Structure 1
């Protein structure tokens, strides 16, 4: 981005655990280098297993910034306004979860408005694995400000001299003396009765840290040594993304990334003729993995707590792309003894490599 970088310190890492869990789940030591296991059919087909480890980042340090606004409605629900764009990643859900956690309400009480530049606050964009870490922290900051305003008004309603000991839970403000007041009552009272005002807050976040998620990826293949055809049988990713806010959406992110990465390593290639014209400009000649062609995919999370992240979270979006190619190359090498140095691993390339061409 034309700026000086910032020194980074790793404060959380589950890499060693990722490798340990993956080796055990794949039965690595029973398979790797095992000639009996390699003989898939006793003929030209040979099995192989490979792995790679990787780290990524969580946004661009000193550059990415996001903002959030939270407004309390008169029924005790909340409007969450964010510039972060949900591209199918589930960010609307996890950012609402973060707000709900701070405000002590169920997820359904958070009404999300995102990505409308006419009225939502600024966000650098859904890129660089930044939304959970950067936008999430902005949401948490805004929610903490709103929570403090709610406590202040609840203390006024309850005749308390301070907000000390007040807790937001189950759509209520709970006082240390056992009394409570619902968020709906707080909202209505703040708008229409005592010290009338709107409970609302905005917050921004930019970080000089970009804590890396870590991962270990494992691939099993069958290589036909007569034709060079590689069949991907199984893919496992064990990933440390910090504290996982929503395991379902995070798993979906990883699985989607793995599908892209398998295609990138195995079969997706843009071919140009001598005049620089794209030859395979249609799906079919440019082969993308179909649903019925996908190998067995597995995702395991090793949870850590990142001290600089919202609720201990780090990113997860792009790291699934990082290690499949070297892991697949390692698996082909385990099966055949040949190292592949050029992507993708098409039948012709593998066939030529097996014959030293």
Structure 2
């Protein structure tokens, strides 16, 4: 029989008052920028997202930003890629570093054009006097910074947020449940996510889809059992069932954008919220099909059959 379930969840954006994010932004002599961070890109795309923030702040193309990832010998300190913190916490450090770097570049340009810094506008590849009477390019500013200059063109900023604004997500699942075998087939999953302003909607979408698949696996398949001697019985991918995209039926992800004042460019987190709704949504759908609530994961066919027999 077919049934549907729904779940609503919220998460955090880093751990307030604890997580630390840092970023170093440097102007190179070719007019391009280098971003050095301590947050590791584990496949979530944070290198891309943070370089996009640099490009937005410095009014350049993302292709003009080189990212040096986590290196404990060279990177500025970062608490790490965990707790849904990288975009929200480290992203704010990137934004702050870029703003300070822009101020420094304007100060150097003002010296070169012999005018007050208040009269200098940052225009991406050039820095111009407000009246249009003079301008200097980034390459010239970079060259000037290497001789008779005391103003840094490499800025490091560190950020820690006193708040942890929650992203929200609603997940709706349609299943087909066989009452004779207890098997559950996911037919359709629809999700709507509020992660503030998605910095890169494509990356946010695939991260959401991946989190949903992980959540469905946790809810229906992935189990760990031990032998009397303590050995894990599911010790290979033959016995430890991981869902693939082919097991998921249809997936549809939409974003309900909001603007988070404390986040970089209005962003909140998306790392963990996406795995939160599949388990309760599936439990709801199975309850509607069988009349039994399941409180432990995974909800295997054996548990479903045993629950139905106890009614």
Q: Shorter-chain-normalised TM-score: which range? A: over 0.9
Matched, 1:163 2:124: no
Per-residue deviation, residues 310-356 of structure 1 (Å, max 9, x unmatched): 11111000111111111001112233333223321211111122222
SS of aligned partner of 1:263: helix
Counterpart among 60, 69, 88 of residue 133 in structure 1? 88
Report the count of equivalent residues: 310
Matched, 1:68 2:56: no
Could you list the structure 1 runs, at least 4 aligned residues long, displaced by more than 4 angstroms after superposition: none
1:83 CA displacement: 0.6
Asked if structure 2 preserves the Cα contact closer than 8 Å seen for 1:54 and 1:215, the reply is yes
SS of aligned partner of 2:251: strand
Counterpart among 59, 65, 70 of residue 115 in structure 1? 70
Asked if structure 2 preserves the Cα contact closer than 8 Å seen for 1:257 and 1:321, the reply is yes
Change (3 A) 1:148 1:236: same
Relative to the length of structure 2, the TM-score reads 0.94
Task: Tell me, in whole angstroms, the C-alpha distance in 2 between the residues paired with 1:240 and 1:174.
Answer: 39
Match of residue 255 from structure 1: 209
Asked if structure 2 preserves the Cα contact closer than 8 Å seen for 1:191 and 1:198, the reply is no
Gap regions ≥5 residues in structure 1: 1-45
1:165 CA displacement: 5.9
Superposition RMSD on alpha carbons, in Å? 1.7
Per-residue deviation, residues 211-262 of structure 1 (Å, max 9, x unmatched): 1111111111000111111001111221110111111111122111111100
SS of aligned partner of 1:220: strand
Task: Tell me, in whole angstroms, the C-alpha distance in 2 between the residues paired with 1:354 and 1:267.
Answer: 19
Match of residue 81 from structure 1: 36
Task: Tell me, in whole angstroms, the C-alpha distance in 2 between the residues paired with 1:206 and 1:197.
Answer: 26
Asked if structure 2 preserves the Cα contact closer than 8 Å seen for 1:172 and 1:181, the reply is yes
Matched, 1:351 2:305: yes
Superposition pairs for residues 280-295 of structure 1, below 5 Å? 280-295=234-249
Matched, 1:98 2:30: no
1:184 CA displacement: 1.7
Match of residue 59 from structure 1: 14
SS of aligned partner of 2:146: helix
Task: Tell me, in whole angstroms, the C-alpha distance in 1 between the residues paired with 2:150 and 2:233.
Answer: 68
1:48 CA displacement: 0.8
